[in-house]
A = this chain, B = another copy of it.
């Protein structure tokens, strides 16, 4: 199946790149493999992504965005900030567990790529911390939280829940007590964020 370069969108290239990465692994996958899978010349791919590195970054960014984008809705949902924070943290953990279970090859592939793409991961973590900052700032505005710097607190909450979203901890997520553990960490963090009664 051959495709004219004119109809070749960046999105289709990324779909093919994801499939090639899943099949060959990051060490062996090449731009030529991606072009072959699409039935185009590798020049056609380079017209969208100037280098193999650019293609890898783009496909990894898209993969990470698949996790962060649905969470933006949770961050801005019409409910108390504490409830949003709870849903946000549990959904992040559950979505990672679901992907790891349903497509373990792709999960491993992208985690390996992510360790090599520090800037891409740093930008992803900024997005997540930013969503948490929105929840916390809303909580402050609603008189629910008492936090001087919501951006700093968002970053701290993200880091304090590393065990529940960083893929290095995947094997620990099988524990039956996982959700109890996350609930206990969340309770402690919420106690830290909440408004204290005045003296």
Contacts from A to B (Cβ < 8 Å): 115, 152-153, 155-157, 159-163, 166, 168-169, 171, 181, 184-185, 187-193, 196-199
Q: For residue A174, give the distance in angstroms from its CB to the closest CB of chain B.
A: 11
User: How many copies of this chain does the complex contain?
Assistant: 2
> How many angstroms between the C-alpha atoms of A43 and B66 in the bound complex?
57
A153 to B196 Cα, complex, angstroms: 19
The answer to whether A156 and B185 have CB atoms under 8 Å apart is: yes
Which residues of B have CB within 8 Å of A185?
156, 159-160
Question: Which chain B residues border A187 with CB–CB below 8 Å?
Answer: 156, 192
What chain B residues lie within 8 Å of A166 (beta carbons)? 163, 168-169
Could you tell me the distance between the alpha carbons of A156 and B180 in the complex, rounded to whole angstroms? Answer: 10
Docked Cα-Cα span, A153 to B188, in Å, equals 7
**One of B153, B160, B196 near A197 (C-beta < 8 A):** B196
Picked from B153, B163, B191, the residue with its CB within 8 Å of the CB of A162 is B163
Q: Which residues of B contact A191 (CB under 8 A)?
A: 191-193
Chain B residue nearest in CB terms to A167: B168
A4 to chain B, nearest CB (A): 44
A199 to B181, CA, bound (A): 30
CB distance from A170 to the nearest CB of B (A): 10
Instruction: Please give the distance in Å from A190's CB to the nearest CB on chain B.
Output: 7
